[in-house]
Amino acid sequence: MGVLVNLLDYLVLLGTMVGIAAYGMWRTRGRNSLSAYLKGSQTAGWGTIGLSVMATQASAITFMSTPGQGYESGLGFVQNYFGVPLALILVAAIFLPLYRRLDVYTAYEFLGRRFDAKTRLLGAALFLLQRGLAAGITIYAPAIILSTVFGWRLDVTIVLSGLLVIAYTVAGGSEAVNLTQKYQMAVIFGGMVTAFIVLLIKLPSWLTLTDALTVAGGFKKLEAVDFSLDVHRRYTIWSGMLGGLFLSLSYFGTDQSQVQRYLHGASLRESRLGLMFNGVCKIPMQFFILLLGVLVFVFYQFERPPVYFNEAAWNYQARHGAGAQLHAIESDFAAVHARKQRLIRAWLDAKHAGDEPAEAASRAAAQAAQARSDVLRADARAVIQRADPQTSANDADYVFITFVLDHLPHGVIGLLVAVIFAAALSSKASELNALGSTTTVDFYRHMLQREASDAHYVAASKWFTALWGVVALAFALFAHLVENLIQAVNILGSIFYGVVLGLFLVAFFFRRVGGTAVFWAALSAQTLVFVLYFTLTISYLWYNLIGCAACVLFGLILQALKGPDDQPAEAPATP
């Protein structure tokens, strides 16, 4: 790589990021009522709501890892999102009207109104525990990759991006988050579409789009839907629809970082349409990002890719000890790539000539060459990991950023790095906003300071948001101490999400179950999940289903044993 980023790239990057943050702070200055600070001025239309919900879910890793997923495994990952439209319909039809009708600040206030104070605090505590621990990752994950690729100092990258998001989230509250997310999504869409167009232009001029898809299909990168009933396969239409439905229902319906986004709407109609916008757009958007990765794969059939996409780790190991092995692998890889290129050309020529036997033979030979390339890549990963066990074996996260840096023009590079930062800041802002709101409304106002002015609660909310921001920064700075970070956070989420969803499902669908029964049911279900987690070896995704089912079942049993509930529900809070 030559000069990675130049002045133009830095101008685009800083101009978009700092400009959007400054505009958000300026537009939302002087918000002194708690309602305006936590729910915004409630004038947002469905477009703002829809983009805000989308921006909250799409973190920086979405735009770095998903094209890498497409490159490595093809389109199959899109099935992971098949539960999203179904979940959003349920949230819009059932969850949202009740939240709006009760005019709550947080989803957990609803639990207090439906059940009692202790159930509300339990729901809020589970959210704070899970989201608070995960908060550092949304800053750390992109920072570690960007600092590795660009050679920036990791701590400086973390602190500067963290301080920027803390500044506008604390200053402008929920409205600033929604407002900035709208423009950050515009940067993200603009960047991804630009990358897509430049990628198409960069493909060989003789290669039509149909040819490109033929090559991708020949290497099994276009297997988007798998109807297999094999439960061991990671992505199938069934696991996507069932597992995805549970995950998405829990995330969109009960996670305050999402609930706060759609409570911001000018009316129930705007909030509902914002959710439906995501229901329509989510699968095509993920398909588009994966297709980008698939086309990067096709591009690299005609342009030799690095053997290992984390080039900083490769270069370091090549200079320190593992050089001979890596150079041997690289030399084999180059030879295999050159042979594969000739075979692909012969395969497409035979296809255009209608020579089916020659087409089949060339395709099979190209597939064998690809399999050999994959083996060499795996060998390189093993060598690098043996030399430095701290290096992640998975280099898929580096595929897209490597393509951007090596093949896109300056200016566009700055725009694509801005995409990654925009995604990181937008999801981080929602998290901090939700953590600050829940701490203020469900704990501080509810337990410590019940009668105070709006200005007092706004100030408290700002302090709590800043505090969570500092916690997230501290965690991000020390995150390297945790092995396999992202998986650790996903496991953490799966351990708690099921029980929280169970609480809400009991609230909505089991009218006879009261607060005491569901409270003890949730604690028992959470204990069961912990015990199972430490004794079984099943995939952590199953804990979403187990926690939810156990909470509902225990609630019904305890209520039947206990008889009618006797705990008072909470009175509506006075803002």
Partner 1 sequence: MKSAEQKWSAVAAAPSGPAGVDEGPGLPWLRTWRRVYGFVFAGFVLNVLLLALLSWAFS
CB-based contact 12:415 (threshold 8 Å): yes
Q: Which of 22, 89, 171, 198 binds partner 1 (CB under 8 A)?
A: 89
SS3 265: strand
Please tell me the number of Cα atoms within 13 Å of 387 on its side-chain side.
Answer: 20
Q: Which of 4, 5, 41, 42 binds partner 1 (CB under 8 A)?
A: 42
| Distance (Å, whole) CA 21 – CA 467 | 19
Task: Tally Cβ neighbours within 10 Å of residue 401.
Answer: 26
- What's the closest the beta carbon of residue 575 comes to partner 1, in angstroms? 11
Q: Which of 20, 38, 61, 75 binds partner 1 (CB under 8 A)?
A: 75
Does 283 bind partner 1 (CB under 8 A)? Our answer is: yes
Does 260 bind partner 1 (CB under 8 A)? Our answer is: no
Question: Who's near 373: CB < 8 A, 6+ residues apart?
Answer: 333, 336, 337, 340
Q: Which 493-512 positions form the footprint of partner 1 (CB under 8 A)?
A: 511-512
For partner 1, the closer of residues 92 and 139 by Cβ is: 92
For partner 1, the closer of residues 87 and 434 by Cβ is: 87
| Distance (Å, whole) CA 500 – CA 242 | 18
For partner 1, the closer of residues 105 and 314 by Cβ is: 105
For partner 1, the closer of residues 110 and 127 by Cβ is: 110
Count, residues near partner 1 per rule CB under 8 A: 55
Q: Which amino acid is at 240?
A: G
Does 268 bind partner 1 (CB under 8 A)? Our answer is: yes
Does 355 bind partner 1 (CB under 8 A)? Our answer is: no
For partner 1, the closer of residues 280 and 536 by Cβ is: 280
Does 566 bind partner 1 (CB under 8 A)? Our answer is: yes
Task: Tally Cβ neighbours within 10 Å of residue 428.
Answer: 30
- What's the closest the beta carbon of residue 31 comes to partner 1, in angstroms? 17
Question: Who's near 543: CB < 8 A, 6+ residues apart?
Answer: 494, 495, 498, 529, 532, 533
CB-based contact 384:317 (threshold 8 Å): yes
Angstrom distances, CA of residue 166 to CA of 13, 32, 429, 467, 471: 18, 18, 7, 9, 11
Q: Which of 514, 519, 524, 558 binds partner 1 (CB under 8 A)?
A: 514
Note the residue count of the chain: 575
For partner 1, the closer of residues 82 and 496 by Cβ is: 82
Q: Which two tokens stand for residue 456?
A: 């007092």
Helix (H) or strand (E) holding 419: helix 412-438
**Angle in degrees, CA 486, 487, 493, rounded to 5:** 90
For partner 1, the closer of residues 203 and 489 by Cβ is: 203
- What's the closest the beta carbon of residue 536 comes to partner 1, in angstroms? 32
- What's the closest the beta carbon of residue 286 comes to partner 1, in angstroms? 10
Per DSSP, helices labelled H in 510-541 are: 515-535
- What's the closest the beta carbon of residue 270 comes to partner 1, in angstroms? 10
Q: How far is CA 289 from the centre of its chain?
A: 13
CB-based contact 49:274 (threshold 8 Å): yes
Per-residue contact flags (x/-) with partner 1 for residues 95 to 124, judged by CB under 8 A: --xx-xxxx------x--xxx---------
Does 293 bind partner 1 (CB under 8 A)? Our answer is: no
- What's the closest the beta carbon of residue 177 comes to partner 1, in angstroms? 18
| Distance (Å, whole) CA 114 – CA 116 | 7
Q: Which of 27, 269, 319, 320 binds partner 1 (CB under 8 A)?
A: 269
For partner 1, the closer of residues 86 and 553 by Cβ is: 86
At residue 166, what are phi and psi to the nearest 5 degrees? -65, -40
Q: Which of 4, 8, 22, 86 binds partner 1 (CB under 8 A)?
A: 86
Does 289 bind partner 1 (CB under 8 A)? Our answer is: no
Closest CA to 253 of 483, 509, 504, 562: 504
Does 272 bind partner 1 (CB under 8 A)? Our answer is: yes
Q: Which of 33, 41, 147, 267 binds partner 1 (CB under 8 A)?
A: 267
Q: Which two tokens stand for residue 321?
A: 């000890």
Does 480 bind partner 1 (CB under 8 A)? Our answer is: no
Angstrom distances, CA of residue 160 to CA of 2, 150, 165, 473: 25, 15, 9, 10
Does 261 bind partner 1 (CB under 8 A)? Our answer is: no
Q: Which 423-442 positions form the footprint of partner 1 (CB under 8 A)?
A: none
Piece of 168-176, 276-284, 451-459, 471-479 that binds partner 1 (CB under 8 A): 276-284
Looking only at Cα atoms, what is the longest distance across the chain?
Answer: 82
Task: Tally Cβ neighbours within 10 Å of residue 96.
Answer: 23
Q: Token match 């685009």: residue?
A: 12
Q: Which of 159, 213, 459, 541 binds partner 1 (CB under 8 A)?
A: 213
What is the binding site for partner 1 (CB under 8 A)?
42, 75, 78, 82, 85-86, 88-89, 92-93, 97-98, 100-103, 110, 113-115, 213-214, 216-218, 222-225, 237, 267-269, 272-273, 276, 279-280, 283-284, 287, 511-515, 517, 559, 564-569, 572
